[in-house]
Structure 1
Amino acid sequence: MSPLALPVLIPLFAGSLSLLAWRWRPAQRGIAVVGTAGLLVAALWLLVEVERDGIRVLQVGDWPAPFGISLVADLLGAIMVVITGLIGLAVALYSLATTGRGHEAFGYFPLMHLLLGGVAGAFLTGDIFNLYVWFEVMLVASFALLTLGSEKAQMEGAIKYVTLNLLSSVTFLVAVGLLYGLVGTLNMAHIAQRLATLDSGLVDVLALMFMVAFGIKAAAFPLFFWLPASYHTPPVAVSALFAGLLTKVGVYALFRVFTLLFPHHPGYTHEILLWGAALTMLTGVMGAMVQFEFRRILSFHIVSQIGYMLLGLALFTPLAVLGGLFYIVHHIIVKANLFLISGIVHRLRGSYRLERLGGLYRTHPWLAVLFLIPALSLAGMPPLSGFFAKFIVIRAGLEAGAYGVTAVALLVGLLTLFSMVKIWAEVFWKAAPEEQDRASAPGQGELWLMALPAAGLALCTLLIGLQAGPLYALVEASAEQLLAPERYIEAVLGVEGRP
């Protein structure tokens, strides 16, 4: 039995069970943990198979490619599904302590499973139209999660979120329609094979359209403002899930499309990506510097860190692509963890505003340590995972002669450290203000249930930093697969990838 379909089927099945247990709260909560744990186990099984046997392909309904729908797992897809399972399990555990009955009654857990199923489907599909379908599944689930509670700030953020993402979806769908009219197929391996034989200006237009569509999904400059306007508004578990996974699906799609469908693209598309990466880094970190609300700072830093991933793709050298992929893995874990920690702070002090916080280093030193690990990793301090991620990308920039954007990347790293130090000083180091927002003291069981997933993700960050070799080797092999698209084409179509 192949585990290829399980990362998609398990969340969808768990979500269906949650709907059946609509009025039975303990069952919904148990299904959330078991379902996300099952997703993680299935993803690890898939990764082991792909690493051992190469690219795995499942032709749905036994229809041969390119006529049917293909599920494809190369190393990149398998790695991303493993990280999806890890973040899903962490958020599910955290949600047990933070999600109220009201949100659960409006479908929090079924929507969480639907979102995870959409993310896994996007990572494993081998069909460009089904990639669009999975994007829409994510959009529906994320919009519903974003509006749970129906508070004014949530609705304002949701309107911006859905408007820009609908623009992305329309651009994506039009590009898919034009692409189908040009090559007569929707299977990505078959599209790549046929595009390699074409010399048409429409191919260049399609490359730009996909860049715009996925750039919006990834929150790249200039259409990124939907993210910091919305990610700080929902319940913190939802923020962590969004911060870890949603924008990375857009980044993944950019890597997939520009290594498989448009590997022989004109130089100007990567020139645009290079400028976009630099401006995404700068605007994101500058936005974070002027914020004084915990989650808004973290939201702007999602934007700035996306720039490093795009830089790896824009440079398009083996080392740069490796660095971009390593950065994706590191950032998903670190950013989700920082949002989880912000929720613990809010639970203890009743506010996300930095001026209303303080003194947590003295009262909860363990929380200060949990914050410092992902915060310093985000800034690129050794020996944490972020140091190696930034080092690889910056080294690739220097080797490629892109000195200007490399200088920007170094500057953004320093400014990121400044933002993290600001949070540390305001939330943990300074004395607690005399007047604080009231927060009911959490029980020890509730507090440790919130701390457990944060500690687990912090441990992952430490392990990646202290034992970077295994992940480096895995990501290096993944980058080699991406830069040799003929392997993907041969695995899916059963023929050599040459035109």
Structure 2
Amino acid sequence: MSVLVPLPFVLLLLGSALTMISRRRETWLRILAPLAVTASLAAAGALMAAVARDGVIAVQMGGFAAPLGITLVADRLSALLLVVSIGVLLAIMLHAVAEGAGGMGGHEPGVFYPAYLTLTAGVSLIFLAGDLFNLFVAFEIMLASSYVLMTLSPTAERLQAGMTYTVVSLMSSILFLAAIGLTYAATGSVNLAGLSERVADLPEGTRTALGLLFLVVFGIKGAIAPMHLWLPDSYPAALTKVTAVFAALLTKAAIYALIRVETLLFPRDQVSWIMLVLAAATMLAGTLGALTHDDIHRVFSFILVGHIGYMLFGLGLYSVAGLTGAILYLAHHIVVQATLFLVSDLMQGRTGETSLRRLGGLARLSPFIAVMFFIPAMSVSGMPPSSGFIAKLALFQAGLGEGRHVAYAVTAVAVLASLLTLMAMSRIWTLGFWRPRPEEAGEPPAAGSYTEGSTRLMGTVTVVLVAGGLLIAVFAGPLASWSHRAAADLLDPAVYRNAVLDGGRP
């Protein structure tokens, strides 16, 4: 079991090194990169099975016992998100392989594939890191790769967006490093399990200051309102396949880190007013923003911001039911948000447009794309019986069951945000698919922009992701049970702490 914990991360780094060595051989890149992600997914699946059998698994790297040295930990939350995330990253990788094979990649394969695999490795390490400093390192691995991916096929708009993204990311990283330094100065440790004991002994003012600093750090990285304005200005400028990765995982990694830090370092026995207010503000800011834009990538980016609020809502309730809903929503949203951006890539390839002013007639032009859009659009809107409906229902039940006025108010805001999301998705459907194509938009590009094999593979990948979203709904019972046990473990830090400090194997 000690080998399984670091294996998903190690395989991805190895794959990145191999693709860097083979960067001048494009055919090898298109074989090695998917193989590396597939091997990592298999390792993550085996790790999830081991966690299901044995519970929390901790490994001390380098033979140093905790709280010294590097600790990697896998529990039910991290194992679930590891499998879902790498699975989605594999699908996006295959989509990129197909698009590149069609001659429409617009980027240097020798740069894209190593950077993509390094980003995937960083995401994996975030879910496995057992101490604050290596959590910081994992974020930097992910972000350094994302800087490269953001500016592939550079244009003036893309470079400007990349500058905004880089500056904001570096600022949040500096704050993160400062938070780690202050935590170490106050406690003498950065190990999460060790901190779960030591932070409780700090003066209340010190705990509050540290808690707010970590909230700001992950609030910036996770695009929590009012710290979200950078995201809609940067994500839509990147290549669509890159935006799909960013939208699916970068903000979710920050929300995961916030959940981990809040439950281990700053546990509480009642709702968090600050988080619930921020959750409501994030829902409204994102969904209202989605109604004011015509570019579908910007619409999806604002929807992404709005739905970060749902995950924060579950954390803010600070109950087993609330965290269960947040975990369900994390798994659902990783899949569905990636699917929406890949569908938008198909739409852009078929019409050459992303503006709703010039889109139209897609339902007649491509019924396949229409179906592929409709299913995840209804899921992100929370329409039954989709995975989005199940995740939102769990959060609504948790909010109404809390018995506090603030929880009732935020539940009402969550319902309103769902209706606003449905309006935004209906607007895309009406203007982009249902109405005739505007005359001023001109004729759509020839269907032969991609090779037939490329088009088929891109469509197959999209179908697989759409099916993945449907499977979350079909297997909602087992997934909810897993999420419930993960939430219960989060609210009992002794489970995590004992596994790391007593059960970690050097």
What TM-score does the superposition give when structure 2 sets the normalisation length? 0.95
- SS of the equivalent of 1:356 reads coil
Separation in 2, partners of 1:105, 1:299? 26
1:336-386 CA-to-partner distances (Å, cap 9, x unmatched) read: 000000000000010111121121212321221111111000000011100
Quick check: 1:341–1:454 contact (8 Å CA) kept in 2? Answer: yes
The residue aligned with 1:196 is: 200
The residue aligned with 1:24 is: 25
Separation in 2, partners of 1:29, 1:403? 50
Q: Does 1:170 align with 2:178?
A: no
Quick check: 1:357–1:436 contact (8 Å CA) kept in 2? Answer: no
The residue aligned with 2:426 is: 421
1:439 corresponds, among 440, 445, 449, to 445
Equivalent residue pairs, number:
494
The residue aligned with 1:336 is: 338
The residue aligned with 2:217 is: 213
Q: Does 1:408 align with 2:413?
A: yes
Counterpart AA for 1:174? A
The residue aligned with 1:84 is: 85
The residue aligned with 2:52 is: 51
The residue aligned with 1:278 is: 280
The residue aligned with 1:3 is: 4
1:235-255 CA-to-partner distances (Å, cap 9, x unmatched) read: 111011111000001100110
- SS of the equivalent of 1:71 reads strand
Distance verdict in 2 for CA 1:106–1:21, change over 3 Å: closer
Separation in 2, partners of 1:221, 1:231? 16
The residue aligned with 1:386 is: 388
The residue aligned with 2:232 is: 228
Structure 1: state its 5+ residue gaps: none
Quick check: 1:232–1:296 contact (8 Å CA) kept in 2? Answer: yes
The Cα shift of 1:438 comes to 5.0
Separation in 2, partners of 1:395, 1:54? 27
In the TM superposition, what are the counterparts of 1:5-404 in structure 2 within 5 Å? 5-99=6-100, 100=104, 103-105=107-109, 107-264=111-268, 270-400=272-402, 401=404, 402-404=407-409
The Cα shift of 1:199 comes to 3.0
- SS of the equivalent of 1:353 reads coil
Which runs of 4 or more aligned residues in structure 1 lie more than 3 Å from their structure 2 counterparts after TM superposition? 99-102
Quick check: 1:88–1:116 contact (8 Å CA) kept in 2? Answer: yes
Separation in 2, partners of 1:110, 1:366? 32
Counterpart AA for 1:350? G
What is the percent sequence identity of the aligned residues?
A: 42
Quick check: 1:356–1:437 contact (8 Å CA) kept in 2? Answer: no
The residue aligned with 2:475 is: 467
Separation in 2, partners of 1:488, 1:287? 39
Separation in 1, partners of 2:444, 2:503? 65
The Cα shift of 1:158 comes to 1.2
Quick check: 1:350–1:437 contact (8 Å CA) kept in 2? Answer: no
Quick check: 1:32–1:109 contact (8 Å CA) kept in 2? Answer: yes
Separation in 2, partners of 1:465, 1:411? 22
- SS of the equivalent of 1:196 reads helix
Give the structure, 1 or 2, with the largest relative contact order (CA under 8 Å, sep 6 or more): 2
The Cα shift of 1:439 comes to 2.7
Distance verdict in 2 for CA 1:308–1:101, change over 3 Å: closer
What TM-score does the superposition give when structure 1 sets the normalisation length? 0.96
Quick check: 1:9–1:117 contact (8 Å CA) kept in 2? Answer: yes
Separation in 2, partners of 1:11, 1:237? 19
Quick check: 2:352–2:445 contact (8 Å CA) kept in 1? Answer: yes
The Cα shift of 1:97 comes to 2.3
Quick check: 1:277–1:307 contact (8 Å CA) kept in 2? Answer: yes
- SS of the equivalent of 1:9 reads helix
- Once the two structures are overlaid, the 10-residue window that deviates more, 92-101 or 306-315, is 92-101
Quick check: 1:220–1:306 contact (8 Å CA) kept in 2? Answer: yes
The Cα shift of 1:104 comes to 2.6
- Once the two structures are overlaid, the 10-residue window that deviates more, 432-441 or 254-263, is 432-441
Distance verdict in 2 for CA 1:495–1:83, change over 3 Å: closer
Quick check: 2:22–2:110 contact (8 Å CA) kept in 1? Answer: no
Counterpart AA for 1:371? F
- Once the two structures are overlaid, the 10-residue window that deviates more, 29-38 or 280-289, is 29-38
Separation in 2, partners of 1:244, 1:374? 13
Quick check: 1:333–1:457 contact (8 Å CA) kept in 2? Answer: yes
Quick check: 1:357–1:433 contact (8 Å CA) kept in 2? Answer: yes
Separation in 2, partners of 1:117, 1:365? 37
Separation in 2, partners of 1:310, 1:3? 30
Quick check: 1:8–1:120 contact (8 Å CA) kept in 2? Answer: yes
- Once the two structures are overlaid, the 10-residue window that deviates more, 336-345 or 233-242, is 233-242
Separation in 2, partners of 1:108, 1:436? 33
- Once the two structures are overlaid, the 10-residue window that deviates more, 340-349 or 155-164, is 155-164
Quick check: 1:50–1:73 contact (8 Å CA) kept in 2? Answer: yes
Counterpart AA for 1:216? I
1:456 corresponds, among 447, 464, 467, to 464
The Cα shift of 1:101 comes to 6.0
Separation in 1, partners of 2:183, 2:293? 42
- Once the two structures are overlaid, the 10-residue window that deviates more, 135-144 or 205-214, is 135-144
The Cα shift of 1:11 comes to 1.1
Structure 2: state its 5+ residue gaps: none
- SS of the equivalent of 2:48 reads helix
Quick check: 1:87–1:336 contact (8 Å CA) kept in 2? Answer: yes
Separation in 2, partners of 1:106, 1:168? 29
Quick check: 1:274–1:310 contact (8 Å CA) kept in 2? Answer: yes
Counterpart AA for 1:136? E
Separation in 2, partners of 1:210, 1:437? 51
- Once the two structures are overlaid, the 10-residue window that deviates more, 442-451 or 18-27, is 442-451
